[in-house]
Structure 1
Amino acid sequence: MIDWLAFLSVLVASIVGACGVVFLFSIGLRFVGSDVRWRRPFGVLAFVLCGLLIVYGLYLIIPALHR
């Protein structure tokens, strides 16, 4: 029997996570490529947050990392 509530929660978490990574990456590209000097650190911060989200997703996927 399929647990539809668990399936729905995984689906929503996947969509939100993917949209978050894409959003942070695009904001990082926009800010790093800007001529305004104060935006560059925010672009780098967006890239760092994007990388942290990816590492956290890998941590959740690989069971050997969280026994």
Structure 2
Amino acid sequence: MLPKLITQEQLQVRYKAFAAKDGELFSKRALYRWRKEEEYPPPVISSPRLVWLESDVIEWEKKKNYTFLHSTTSH
């Protein structure tokens, strides 16, 4: 079975609760900052677009106690 992947665009929607303003998506810049400052997992594919392993993302969220996000995972 192939691992589930999640795109940068999907992450921006997933982390909407962390956006600077209500109703906006989480920014690409903020996601980049998490990668540099919050030990966010690196993407497994970076070209032509950024893609992460969903399992890596969920593991990081659990470490940060962002468990409220788990119900938003696409299946």
TM-score normalised by length of structure 1? 0.28
Q: Greater RCO between the two (CA within 8 Å, min separation 6)?
A: 2
Greater strand share, 1 or 2?
A: 2
Asked which structure has the greater CA Rg, the reply is: 1
- Which structure has the highest helix share of the two? 1
Q: Normalization by structure 2: what TM-score?
A: 0.26
